[in-house]
Amino acid sequence: MAETSASLKLSHEGALAALNAGIAKATAMGQPQCISIVDPGGHLLAFVRMDGAFHMSLETSLRKAKTAACYGAPTGGMQDDVAIKLALGTDGQRINLPGGLPIIVGGHCIGGVGVGSGTGEQDREVAMEAIAAIPGSQSF
């Protein structure tokens, strides 16, 4: 067994590219958003609350990004009873609202994007546009 392994890292340039792509999509949709970009451990790399976005969505966007990155899966698809138990067990850090997507490149989860302030569908559309700005990223 090897003691080390190679890994990919989302750079701050990549985080800003994803953030700017998300901002452009939200602007084109006419829906101001809160957009959070995190590393695989859920640490914030980039964030914006666009003018007019709901203030409390800064929390949900960050929790969506953290959840997507930590689980390596989109948010919003879990059964409600399981989601509630996980939310309680993580003091609300695990969230199941749509709009969180992992950033997966070459089979490695290198971070997550979380978007909040629109409908779940709008949030997801903006998140998809954000991860598309990362070359080689998996689409959802």
Mean pLDDT over residues 99-110, rounded? 97
Angle at 61 between CA 60 and CA 66, to 5 degrees: 95
**Whether residue 83 has pLDDT greater than 90:** no
pLDDT confidence band for 90 (50 / 70 / 90)? confident
Q: Is the pTM of this model over 0.85?
A: yes
Mean pLDDT over residues 126-139, rounded? 97
Please identify which residue in the block is written with the tokens 């999509």. 25
**Whether residue 86 has pLDDT greater than 80:** yes
- Domains in the chain, CATH or no CATH each: 12-132 (3.30.450.150)
